[in-house]
Chains A and B, each alone.
Chain A
Amino acid sequence: MRYRKIALYSFFILAVWGISALSPVSALATGSSTSGEETKTPNASGSVAVPATPSPATCIDEAKAAIENARQADAEKSAPGELTQARYWLMQAEKNYAHSRSLWSQSLKLIISDEAKTQEILYLATMARITAQTAEAKARKALVATELTNTAKDLADNQAMLDVLNKKLAEAELAKKVKAEAEAEQKKLEQARQEAAVLESKKMKELEEARKKAADLEAAKQKELSDANLKGQQLVSEKAKQEAELKTLQQKLAALDKAKAMLADAVKIPGATVKAVDKEIVINISASKIFSSKNEIHAKGKSTLDEVASYLKKYPEGAVMIRCYSDNAGKAEAQRLLTEKRAVKVKGYLVDFHNIAPDRIVAKGLGPTQPIADNSTASGRALNRRVEIGVAFGE
C-alpha cells in the first residue's frame, strides 16, 4: 500500500515536471516568440539575425556576440556605460545559468520546474544583448558621426574649392568675354581706323583735287584776270590809241579844216596858185608878179606880199618856209644865189613891213631844183621861176 502511494506521488511529480518541461519557458525573454515570431538581433547594417529556439545558453551566446560586436565597434570608448551594463547583465545571466547547471539544481529540476530561474536567465541575457546592441549602435553612430564630420569638412573644403574654381572659371569666362569684347572693339576700332584712313585718303584726295581745282581755278582766274588786264590794257591802249588816233584825226580834221580854211583864204591872194601839200599850204606866186627885172619887189608884188602878210597874220601858228626857185637858164649856183636873195627879200619885206616874227620865217633859195614845168619852153621856165610860201598848218 505504501509503495503504491509512493509510486502515485512519484508519477504525479514526474507528470508535473514533464508538463512544466514541455511548457514554453522563454516567453518572457523572447517577447514575440509567443506569437510564433523569432528573436531578432540587429547586425551592423540594421538587419536582424534570428536564433531559432531560444534557450538560456543561446541567449547568453547571442549576448556575448552582441557584446563582442559592440567592443569591436569601439563601444568601450563611445558607449562605455552601456557596454559595462551589458557585461553586468551577461555576468548575471552566466552566473544564474551556471548556478542552474549545478548538480543541486539539476537534481532539483527532477523534482520541480526551474521556470522562474530560466526566465530570469533569459531576461538577463536578453537585457545584456539589447544593451550591447544599443552600445554598438551608439559606438557605430559615434564613428559615423566622426566620419560624417570629416566628410562634411571634406565636403566643405571641396565646396570651397569648387566655389573658388567656379569663381575663377567665372572670372576666366568674364575675362574671356571681356577679352572677346576688347578684341571686337579693337577690331571695330581697327576697322574704324581703316575706314577713317580710307576716308582720310579720300578726303585728302578730294582736298588735293579741290586744291588742284582751286589752283586751276585760280590759275584760270589769274589767266582770265591777266587776260582781262591784258585785254583791259589792250582796250585801254587801244582806246588810248583810238583816242590818240581820234585826236590825231581830230587834229588832222582840224588841220584839214584849218588847211581848208587856209586854203580858202590863200586862194583869195591875187596872182597866186594854192595847193595843200603834206602839212603846209603852199602859196605859189610867179616871180615876175613880185620882182622886177632889177630883181626888186615892185609895187604889185608888194601888194601881193601884203596880202600874204595879212594871211600870215591870220594864221600866226604855222611856220613859214619861203622857197624861191629859178629856171635852168645860166649857172645853177648863180640861180641859187639869185633865188636866195629873192627869198631873203621876201622875208625882209614881211618882217620889216608887216612885223612878222623873223624866227617864224625860213627863207631858202633853191635855184633850178624841183622844177614844176618844162624848162625847154618859155612858159615852162616862167612857171619854174617862182616863189613858194609854205605855211605849216599841222602841229
Chain B
Amino acid sequence: MYTRVLNLFRIICGFLVIFILAGNAYAQELSPAHEQEFMDAKEALQTAQTAKADKYAPDMLKEANVFLGKAEQARSAKDDVQFTRSSHLARAYAESAKAWSELKIEQEKLSATKVELEKTKAEIQRLEKAK
C-alpha cells in the first residue's frame, strides 16, 4: 500500500515536472492573437484617456494601467495566460473607466442643463411677475 501511494505520488510529481517544463517550453513565444489583445487594451486605455477618464474615473484608469504593466511583465516572463488575463482586465478597466467618464460628463451636462433650465424658469417666473 505504501509503495503504491509512493509510486502514485512519484507519477504525479513526474507529470507535474513534465507539465511545468512543457508549459515553459510552450510559453516561449506569445501568439499574435495575444499581442492583439494587448494592443486592444492599450487602445482602450488611450480611448479612456481621450474621454477624460483621468479626471472622471482616475481609480479605474489606474487599475487599467496597473494591469497593462502586469501584462508587460507577463510578456517578459513569456506567461501567456497572465499576459492574456492582464490584457483583458486592463481593457475591461479602461472600457469601464471610459464608460464612467462618459457618464460623468453626461451627468455634468445634465446638471449644467438643469441649472440652466432652473435659471430659465426663474427668469420666466420673474418676467411673468413683471408682466
Contacts and interface: CB of A to CB of B under 8 A. Distances in A.
Q: Do A and B bind each other?
A: yes
Interface of A: 2, 6, 9, 28, 31-32, 35, 40, 42, 46, 48, 112, 119, 123, 126-127, 130-131, 133-134, 137-138, 140-141, 144-145, 147-148, 151-152, 154-155, 158-159, 161-162, 165-166, 168-169, 172
B57 to A, nearest CB: 7
20 contacts: A9-B9, A32-B62, A32-B63, A35-B66, A42-B57, A42-B59, A127-B92, A131-B92, A133-B96, A133-B99, A134-B92, A134-B96, A137-B100, A138-B103, A145-B106, A151-B113, A152-B113, A155-B117, A158-B120, A172-B131
A81 to B, nearest CB: 12
Contacts of B114: 151
Given A40-B59, A42-B60, A134-B99, A31 B106 contact: no
Chain A interface SS verdict (over half) = helix
A162 B117 CA distance: 11
B88 interface: yes
A148 B115 CA distance: 12
A46 to B, nearest CB: 6
Interface stretch (B26-34, B35-43, B121-129): B121-129
Contacts of A126: 89, 92
A34 to B, nearest CB: 9
A159 B120 contact: yes
Contacts of B62: 32
Given A46-B57, A133-B96, A165 B2 contact: no
Contact of A48 (B59, B95, B110, B121): B59
B72 interface: no
A169 B130 CA distance: 9
B78 interface: no
Interface of B: 2, 6, 9, 16, 56-57, 59-60, 62-63, 66-67, 70, 82, 85-86, 88-89, 92-93, 95-96, 99-100, 102-104, 106-107, 109-110, 113-114, 116-117, 120-121, 123-124, 127-128, 130-131
Nearest to A79: B99
A137 B123 contact: no
Given A31-B70, A32-B66, A137-B99, A148 B109 contact: yes
A28 B70 contact: yes
A31 to B, nearest CB: 5
B76 to A, nearest CB: 16
Chain B interface SS verdict (over half) = helix
Contact of B120 (A6, A28, A155): A155
Given A31-B63, A42-B57, A138-B103, 4 more contacts: A130-B93, A134-B95, A151-B117, A162-B120
A144 B60 contact: no
B35 to A, nearest CB: 19
A127 B89 contact: yes
Contacts of A165: 124, 127-128, 131
A145 B109 CA distance: 9
Given A155-B120, A158-B120, A169-B131, A46 B100 contact: yes
Contact of A46 (B56, B85, B92, B121): B56
A42 B60 CA distance: 8
A161 B113 CA distance: 16
